A and B are shown apart, each in its own frame.
Chain A
């Protein structure tokens, strides 16, 4: 059974803290994605990666960075958390085409981040 895991289900941080969200997939997928999900806005793509050490900006990259040092792991970093980054963060992976709706994306359970 395919599996995408995220390091935390719930996280509470203070404004200005550096925040790391980790995602691991066990399907040997090339593509990995970070989304944020807010009521009424659906899922918005923050960053995606199609290979180790490769990354591309999505729709809303401002205030975020990512790291992909190993194929199975994709990290989302909030350099200085702000209250408007309070949201649900979802990680996904897929294979093999880049930026295609064709590829089935497999999602993790999400991390609900609250920034106080």
Chain B
């Protein structure tokens, strides 16, 4: 089954907006897109989830186009503590096969 694709790394400065995109061509039609954040020596933790259009919570926004073949995590005004690895999680489907698939992760480094 096709996999998801994320940039390996991104650098940003404090106070900037950061956008991380995940491509997922064969996403299951009736499933959500979820993003996780992982700090060193910890397991990933849930950030945000959406099905289509735009979702916003207290830490991030998630933009999903109509074809749902990609999604963009937006972190407004990042701080040093946002330095982490960010993963998208989707269900990839092909015929009757369904595969819960994490992206390979994007290392975000926020610089002072």
Contact = CB atoms under 8 A, between A and B. Distances in A.
Given A92-B43, A107-B44, A110-B43, A42 B87 contact: yes
B100 A101 contact: yes
Q: What is the interface residue range for chain B against chain A?
A: 20 to 34
A104 B44 contact: no
Given A41-B104, A43-B87, A100-B91, A108 B43 contact: yes
B18 to A, nearest CB: 19
Given A43-B44, A92-B43, A110-B43, A102 B31 contact: yes
A99 B89 CA distance: 11
Interface of A is mostly: loop
Contacts of A110: 41-43
Interface in A68-92: 90, 92
Contact of A42 (B46, B99, B104): B104
Interface of B is mostly: strand
Interface residues of A, number: 24
Contact of B49 (A4, A41, A102, A108): A102
A109 B41 contact: yes
- Interface hub of A41, A101, A105, A107 (most chain B Cβ within 10 A): A101
A106 B34 CA distance: 13
B32 A102 contact: yes
Contacts of A41: 104
A66 B96 CA distance: 24
Contact of A43 (B41, B49, B98, B102): B102
A45 B103 contact: no
Given A101-B34, A104-B34, A108-B43, A42 B91 contact: no
Contacts of B33: 101
